[in-house]
Each structure stands twice: as structure tokens, then as C-alpha cells.
Structure 1
Amino acid sequence: MPERKPRRWVRRLWLTAAVLLLVTAGLWVGNSSVLWGTGEGRPSLLAHRGIAQTFPLDGVQADTCTATRIHPPDHGHVENTIVSMRAAFDAGADMVEFDVQVTSDGQLAVFHDSILECRTDGSGRVADHTLAELRRLDLGYGYTADNGATYPLRGKAVGLMPTAPEVIAAFPDRELLIDLKNDDPADGAKLADHLATLPASRLATISVYGGDNSVEAVRSRLPQIRATSKAIMKDCLIDYLAAGWTGHVPDSCRHTELHLPQRYGQYLWGWPDLFVDRMREADTRVILVAGDGDWSEGFDQPEDLATAPSGWYGWLWTNRTDVIAPLTR
């Protein structure tokens, strides 16, 4: 019997499969971190609120008072104070992050919570107090690791709440990241008023992030400043997912910061090294946040470093520069 010729649809199926295989191989080669990433350098460290007290994350919600569930302290620093920030820089931090809120008398106070009861011996909202009133508080008053049996930080941070201008002046040649805690355009405008008084060389070392509205108020006044928010990061990542396979970095990803939970980076073209290289060329920092990125989870213990990409040389978010810096040097 004569040999039967393959059906046309079978030949088309094989041709389609071959084309898809070649396309997939081409995408992998063009975006291979192994082939094209530089793989050089060490991680840069972002010290979250200076050197801070850490806490277990299980069960934490938006309204959880984390000061009442800290790990037993092995240092005496209270977050968001100049003392804790200086300790972070001395330990090896490359940049320090701190939180800013506007007081009732229009000052830029450095404090995380919107209310005072959790961490301090005060009460009410930060926004309802003057700076002078806030200066009298004990910032370590509410911290306990044993359900209130002891309060090891009480009395150690009385009067230590700084202002944003004071922090900027205290570290004149260091990189700083300012977190606008309230998503209010008025807060962004107040911060922009101060930043606008700084020379261009100093502005180049300061970044701002926070809510979409407050950050936009800063960017509209000072478009040259590095700024980011959820909306900015979302626009960048969507655009990059669409175009990054070509090696192109979209404009939405330029001169900004990306705070990326480690579990999601794997879906980005060129991850990890080539992606970091592309963003560096676009003047954008890639800051890796531990876990899902919830509740300021950082690379705080030696075992946390094992979860970062091998040879990572972007930025790492940490609450414990004193622990992590010696391991990354």
C-alpha cells in the first residue's frame, strides 16, 4: 500500500510548536540573568526607621499595637530617633528610612503611628498635638516583650522625637528615604515646602514615598526628586511586564524606586541580576522586601538572607542593620 502522507493539520501543529519553542528560547536567552547580568557588587542596605525593635508577624493586623509584642530586646534603640538612625549608619546602612507626619502647628514630626497610645505615654492623634507637646513624650513607653510584665525601654527615649528638617541636617551627606504616613496632599505640600529650600545636590540624596496623593503633591512641586507610591510602582511594573522582554525600560520606571516583595520578583523579565542592571541604567533602585512585603517585614536575621536571590546586589530592606551588615560585607 502507498505510504500515507501526514495530514496537513499535523504538519501545522508541529510547525506551530517549533515556532513557539524558538520564541520561548529567544525570550529566555534575551532575558537571562545568568547570561547578561553583571553579578557584581554587594547588597545596599536600607535601614527601616534606623535600628528598630522587631516583632513576630503572625496575626498582625492594621490596628495591631506592635510595640506590645516585640521580641526580647537585644539593643536599646527606639525607631525613628536620630540616635537609632545614626546607629544604623554606623553599622553599615547605605540609606535610612523615616516616617513623617504634620503636627497641629505645621511641623514635620518624625513618628510612625497616627495615634500615640501604642508606643508612647501620650494619647490622641499626632496631628492634634503641637511639636512642643510631642517632644515631651517618652517614645519607648509602650514597648514590652512579656505582655506588660516589664517595659524595658521606658525612660530611654524621652524628648527624642525629631523633625524631618532635623534628620536631614543631622545626616547632610547620607541617603534618606522619607515616608509620608498620611495620604494627604497637604502633608506632601508641607514636606515639599521644606525640600524646596535645599540645594539640588542635597535633593539628589533624598527620596520620598507614601500614599498616591501625598507623593503626587511632592512630585508636582519637585519633579526632579526621586519619589514612589503604589500607583507609581504599579504603572512601572505593568508597563515593564508588557515591554521588558525586549530589554526596554519604560519611562514609568525611570528615576524612581521599586519596593518589591521577594516572592514576586521572579515574574519580572531578567530577574534578578539583569532586572537590577536595567533599572540601575534607568536611575531606579530595586529594594527587596522580605516575605509578602506586609508590615515592614525585613531581612533582619541571618536566615532571612538565605531567602534572597543568590548573589543579590540590589537593595535589601532591613530593621536590623547591625545584624545584617556584617553578613553582607
Structure 2
Amino acid sequence: MKFLKKAFKRRTTWLIFGVIIAFIYLNNSSLLAQKRESQPFLLAHRGVAQTFTMKDIQNDTCTAERIYKPEHNFLENTIPSMEAAFEDGADMVELDVHITKDNQFAVFHDWTIDCRTNGTGVTRDYTMAELKKLDIGYGYTADGGKTYPFRGKGVNLMPSLNEVMKHFPHQAFLIHVKSNDPEEGRQLAQYLSPFSKKRLKNITVYGGDEPIDSLKREMPNLKVMSKATMKACLIPYIATGWTGNVPNACENTELHIPEKIAHILWGWPNRFLNRMDDVNTRTIIVGGDGSEFSTGFDSIQNLKRLPNDYSGGIWTNRIDKIGNYYKDEE
């Protein structure tokens, strides 16, 4: 009898174990997920921009001095580059902002103006009018300084955030607050608060933990992202997501998922994407392992690494290359 009891207990244990494994599989398999019909959501980093080698790049690397041979005449973070990005198929354009001396938001990537322009110092030491007088194409070179193909062509091209919002009243933007100053989050909230609910649905803000936290306090319904919001969502999701539970911290935000860790997320890709859609969260896949979030899917060959029929967001530095690929797929 003892033997039979032990055998029964073992069979019961294995049966329970098998049921749990079956539940986890069925609850997280994309094969059984609700079918997603939409095309991927294309997020154009800085609009249509000059690209550069990422080798040995540091936070203070002057990327304008290492661009590849230009294939177009657009400069990042300008209204013409954003127009071109939307024409090429971008669903959203990412742009960078800094506060100015006269409390406007300048659309410009670098903390200092030394690298790209013919000026020196930081944006907050200048008024918006003074920044517009700079040549933002001054420092670009593809041959180590022998030639500067955009020098003299970038005067009056640095826009204010207000100019961008007025020029593109219906398009979607991901605004990157470049400083870690909480006051800039409050100032951005003050600027965005008068916008209509419809307009704000097309605006997402990301950046350092402190400005994003202060912005979120002022505008709790605005979609935001920071390292803190990412961790608050993903760490508990990795622990409990196999049940189908989505942590409250995942609601109403944006997630940038590095390609090399995406596969560890429960339900990746379709179940995961559906779950995030259900809590009003946008999922963007970026290249690499997360050490450099500017790495994108910048060629047709890159896109082939994505799961079949992937329909989430894609971060790209070359919307001019991949946008047509999805247009042709329609």
C-alpha cells in the first residue's frame, strides 16, 4: 500500500506540474494569441538625420565629426527633416529639447552647442532668437575635417518646440528631455497642459527619472517613459507576467525593449503586445542589448531579425530606408 500511495503522489505531482506548464504555454504562446492585423509602428529617431558609426561612442562624443558620407541633405531635429520623416512613413518622430535662457524649449540634441554649430557653451545660456542665428550644420564632416558639406546651410534651422507643434498640429511626437532637471519637467508640463486631450494623445515624453517624475505629477494622464518607469513595469512583469497579469506600473506609458532581451518577456511578441495595448502602453523595439538605446533597425536586413508578422513599434535612424519597405507591404 505504501508503494501505491507513493506512486499515486508522484503521478499527482507530475500531473500538477504538467498542468502548470501547459497553462504557462497556452497563456503566453503567440501562436494562440489574438491576431494582430496592423503594420508596425515606425518611430523615426530625430527625423531624417545624418547617421554615424556607433563604435566606441561615449556620452560626450561629437557625432557630427563621424558621420557617414551623406546620402541626403537633411539635418536632425529640424522641421524639414521631420517633414521628410513623415513623408517616408514615420508614425512618430522623436526629437530632443533643451530649455533656453528665455524659457523656451529649443529642439536640439546636444547639451553643448560646440560640436554641431559655430557657437560655444550650452543652450540655456542663449535665447531662442540667439540660437536661431547659429549654423547647426557647421560641424558635420564625413572625412575627418577635410570637408564640411553642411557648413553655411544650417542658419535659422534650429526650431523651438512651439514651432514644431504649430507646424505639425496632428502628427505624433516623442519628446526627449535631455537634462535631468526636475524643473524642466514642470516647465514642459506648463507648456503642454493647455493642449487638447486629442492633441496630447499624440505626444509622449521621455528622459531622466527626475524631470519625468515631475512632469507626470503635473500631467498624470500623459504617456511618459524613463528608466524608473521601465523598471517599475518590467521587473514585476518578468516575475508574474506568466499568469497574464500586467502590473499597474505598466499602464499609460511607453516601453523601449532591447532586441536581445525581448524574448524573455512573457508572451513575446503578440501576447505581450496585446497586453500592453490593453493598458494603453506603446511598445518599441530597439536594437542591441540596451546599452545604447539609439541603436535602431536601419536596413531591410535588420528588419528580417524581427519575428514574423511583428506589428509593434520599431525604432529607426533610417526611416528613409525602411519606411518604403512597409509601404510596399501594404
TM-score, normalization: structure 2? Answer: 0.93
Q: Determine if the alignment matches structure 1 residue 127 to structure 2 residue 124.
A: yes
Deviations 1:139-169 (A, max 9, x none): 1111111111111121222111111111111
Q: Does 1:150 align with 2:150?
A: no
Following TM superposition, by how much is the alpha carbon of 1:220 offset from its aligned partner in structure 2, in angstroms?
0.9
What is the rounded CA distance, in whole Å, between the counterparts of 1:121 and 1:12 in structure 2? 78
* Alignment check: 8 A CA contact 2:207 2:226 kept: yes
Q: Is the 8 A contact 2:286 2:293 kept in 1?
A: no
Checking the alignment, whether the CA contact within 8 Å between 2:260 and 2:288 is kept in structure 1 is: yes
Contact 1:68 1:147 in 2 (8 A): yes
CA distance in 2, matches of 1:14, 1:310: 39
Which residue is equivalent to 1:327?
325
CA deviation vs aligned residue, 1:84-139 (integer Å, no higher than 9, x gap): 00110111110111101101221111111101111111111112222122111111
How many Å separate the matches in 1 of 2:139 and 2:234? 39
Equivalent residue number for residue 245 of structure 2: 248
Q: Is the 8 A contact 1:47 1:318 kept in 2?
A: yes
Determine helix, strand or coil for the equivalent of 2:61. coil
Question: Partners of 2:259 and 2:129 in 1: how far apart?
Answer: 41
Deviation, structure 1 residue 21: 3.6
Instruction: Give the counterpart of 1:23 among 13, 20, 29.
Output: 20
Q: Which amino acid aligns with 1:63?
A: D
- Secondary structure of 1:296's counterpart equals coil
In the superposition, the TM-score normalised over structure 1's length comes to: 0.94
Contact 1:114–1:127 (Cα < 8 Å) also in 2: no
Residue 241 of structure 1: how far off its partner (Å)? 1.7
Q: Residues 10 and 143 (structure 1 numbering): CA distance in 2 closer, same or farther, change over 3 Å?
A: farther
Contact persistence 1:57–1:295 (CA under 8 A): no
Match of 1:46 among 35, 43, 48: 43
For the 8 Å contact 2:116–2:139, the answer to whether it is kept is yes
Say if 2:95 is the partner of 1:136: no
Choose from 14, 29, 33 the match for 2:30: 33
Q: Which residue of 1 aligns with 2:212?
A: 215
Give the aligned length.
326
C-alpha RMSD of the superposition: 1.9
SS in 1 for 2:23: helix
Q: Cα 1:10–1:109, aligned 2, differ >3 Å: closer, same or farther? A: same
Give the Å deviation of 1:42.
1.0
Displacement of 1:18: 4.8
2:225 corresponds to 1:228: yes
Q: Are 2:300 and 1:292 equivalent residues in the alignment?
A: no
Deviation at 1:243, TM superposition (A): 2.6
Distance 1:225 1:11, change over 3 A: same
Give, in angstroms, the shift of residue 242 of structure 1: 2.5
Q: Is the 8 A contact 1:263 1:292 kept in 2?
A: yes
Q: Take 2:9 and 2:130, find their aligned partners in 1: how far apart are those partners?
A: 77
The structural deviation recorded for 1:184 is 0.5
Task: Note the 1:99-114 alignment, pairs <5 A.
Answer: 99-114=96-111
Q: What are the within-5 Å matches in structure 2 for residues 145-294 of structure 1?
A: 145-293=142-290, 294=292
Q: Percent identity?
A: 48
d(CA) in 1 for partners of 2:104 and 2:218? 19
Q: Choose the corresponding residue for 1:301, options 295, 299, 302.
A: 299
Tell me what 2:87 maps to: 90
Counterparts of residues 305-316 of structure 1 (less than 5 Å): 305-316=303-314
Distance 1:286 1:37 in 2: 17
Q: Please name the residue that 2:70 is paired with.
A: 73
Q: Any unmatched runs of 5+ in structure 2? A: none
CA distance in 2, matches of 1:225, 1:298: 25
Seen in structure 2, the aligned counterparts of structure 1 residues 6 and 58 have a Cα distance that, compared at 3 Å, is farther
- In structure 1, runs of 5+ residues without a counterpart are none
Q: Does the CA contact (< 8 Å) of 1:38 and 1:274 recur in 2?
A: no
